Amino acid sequence: MSPRELEELHKQSDELLEKGWIRPSSSPFGAPVLFVPKKEGELRMCIDYRGLNAITVKNVEPLPRIDDLLDRVQGAKYFSKINLKSGYHQIEVHPDDQYKTAFRTRYGHYEFIVMPFGLTNAPATFQRCMNDLFRPWLDRFVVVYLDDILVFSRTLEEHQGHLRQVLEKLREANFKINAKKCDWAKTQVLYLGHVLDGDGVKPEDSKIAAIRDWPTPRTLTEVRSFLGLANYYRKFVRNFSTIAAPLRRLLRKETIWKWDKDCTSAMKKVKQALIKYPVLKVADPSLPFVVTTDASQYGIGAVLQQDDGNGYRPVEFMSARMPSETVATSTYERELYALRRALDHWKHYLLGRHFKVYSDHEMLRWLKTQVKMTPKLTRWAAEIDQYDFELKPVKGKYNVVADALSRRADYFGAIVHYLDIGKDLQQKVREAYAQDPIYSEFLKEVKEAPETEPNYRTTEGLLFEKTNVFDHLCIPNSEEIRSLILGECHNTEGHFGWQKTLANLMRAYT
């Protein structure tokens, strides 16, 4: 462990002991400890219970059907969302089983008295506890999905009474809430990936954003990528061939590249068709879920699907840039990162259910059998291990949707956009601007009067040219800088040949 992690281990172990959540142990069990970064930059201590989970009899009690929960809130006008503080830790482990939760650290051997994160049956256990607690009011004015408690009412006066009953019940049972993560008496809330308001239930915008925000293609490769995704669902789109004809014409050998208004209109219509019923289906918890993921050096893509008897249809799309700290790592790490992100994104659909995961990289077969991994991969694997899924490899040609989502044109600039050229090289670029007679004056002008140069912007002393897809970093006239960036781009992006490296440089730099 790093010095910072050892410091956190000491601190968090002491806190758990003071709260009475753990105690010294002589158990023959002993799971390893790892740390997961939080969004705020803090570290959360987790226990790697993969070994214990592998020999645990699974609790087959399912989590509530999300569509059933959402049906119950129809007609409500006021909503309060209550989040419990360290919810799992507020439930005691049976004394006969506490020794099984033991974990080993540099500072001692401990076991949990309360339910820890990472146990395979923890979600079902927690859900049963919440159901028992609120049973008299379930579906009347309370619905619960794990630690997300939703109170709903038709009038504000009625809502105040309902809230009072729920909060009193939580106090009687000694449950503590996390006030910072609660919403009180709102007319609109986000719950389980859906927007709830007085008009009904609507899907969260992120369900369709990956398709809706697809950038305008600038090359034949980008057109093929978009059409590959669209073609996968063509049987659900009426008159697909007619709608997509202007885009397909661009792929003919004799055609000269020209993106015109017909192409723009065709792409807009295809997008609209892909994100509207009957293509994008409402999740049916009675049907098995299928998650398909893919990762490129630029981004990740995933699609959540179900087979309703008429072939696989998407429930939701997801895509994201590959973060700078991950982009230069191995294919295995990128694929594992994509899977971790997808499972967390659709946690409310997948946790507590058995489902299938398809990936185009067979190294993911090792996920549940790897004994030795880097600390980062160990953390990711521990997060993934709480899900019950069957992992199945799939060749790229059968993975066109997730593959296309991971290779969106606007992700090709991610390496430069996030400045993976390194802080030292960034500083050299700034210094070289001052030595360049053209850029030194131009940079000053853009900083002081940006309205005079609307096609350029500055960020942290670096100059960027704005484009329709992503902004290009402007490189000063310095042989040293250009050589260093060429080497960085070649090494970071996977030692491609000169043509691919040149293409990547042209996408990102001016």
Among 379, 410, 441, which residue terminates a domain?
410
Same domain, 60 and 114: yes
The answer on 436 and 389 residing in a single domain is: no
Strand partners, 299: 321
Residues 256-276: tens digit of each pLDDT: 888 889 999 998 888 887 776
Count H helices and E strands in the chain, helices first: 19, 20
Angle at 447 between CA 446 and CA 453, to 5 degrees: 20
**DSSP 8-state symbol, 341:** H
Total number of domains constituting the chain? 4
At 457, the pLDDT band (50, 70, 90 cuts) reads confident
Same domain flag for 178 and 139: yes
Report the SS3 class of residue 304.
Answer: strand
pTM: 0.53
- What is the full DSSP assignment across 309-329? SSSEEEEEEEEEEPPHHHHTS
Residue 284 lies in a domain: no
Residues 30 and 57 in one domain: yes
pLDDT at 25 over 90: yes
CB count, 10 Å around CB of 136? 9
pLDDT of residue 314: 78
333 compared with 235, residue with greater pLDDT: 333
Question: C-alpha distances in angstroms, 345 versus 231, 316, 318, 459?
Answer: 25, 10, 8, 31
If asked whether residues 32 and 85 sit together in one domain, one would say yes
* pLDDT tens by residue, 40-69: 667 878 888 888 988 888 887 777 777 678
Decide: 463 and 443 in contact? Cβ < 8 Å. Answer: yes
452-467: average pLDDT:
77
At 78, the pLDDT band (50, 70, 90 cuts) reads: very high
When pLDDT is averaged across residues 198-205 and rounded to a whole number, the result is 69
Q: Tell which of 410, 443, 465 closes a domain.
A: 410
Averaged pLDDT of the chain: 78
Question: Which residue in 409, 415, 464 sits closest to 442, CA to CA?
Answer: 464
Q: Are residues 267 and 183 in the same domain?
A: no
Tell whether 379 is covered by a domain. yes
Q: What's the rounded Cα separation, in Å, for the pair 352 and 348?
A: 9
Question: What are the tens digits of pLDDT across the range 100-139?
Answer: 999 999 888 999 999 998 888 888 899 999 999 999 999 8
Task: Read off the pLDDT of residues 236-259 as tens digits, 9 standing for 90 and up.
Answer: 566 777 788 888 888 887 778 888
Sheet of 462-465: strands edge to edge? 456-459, 462-465, 472-473
Pairing of β 78-83 and β 43-47: unpaired
| Domain CATH code at residue 54 | 3.30.70.270
Q: Which are the contacts of 367, defined by CB distance < 8 A and separation ≥ 6?
A: 336, 339, 381, 384, 391
CA distance 159 to 165: 10
pLDDT value of position 422: 58
- pLDDT at 223 exceeding the cut of 80: yes
CB atoms within 10 A of CB 58: 12
**Residue 195 Cα distances to 145, 146, 304, 483, angstroms:** 16, 18, 19, 50
Q: What is the mean pLDDT of residues 371-396?
A: 75
115 φ/ψ sector (left φ>0, alpha ψ -120 to 50, else beta): beta
pLDDT, average across residues 454-468 = 75
User: What is the span of the domain harbouring residue 497?
Assistant: 416-508
Band (235; pLDDT cuts 50, 70, 90): low
Q: How far is Cα 16 from Cα 105, in angstroms, rounded to an integer?
A: 13
pLDDT of residue 430: 85
The enclosing domain of 381 has a CATH number of: 3.30.420.10
Confidence check: pLDDT of 406 > 80: no
| Residue-wise burial string across 439-465, b where 16 or more C-beta atoms lie within 10 A, e elsewhere | beebbeebeeeeeebeebeeeeeebbe
pLDDT value at residue 94: 93
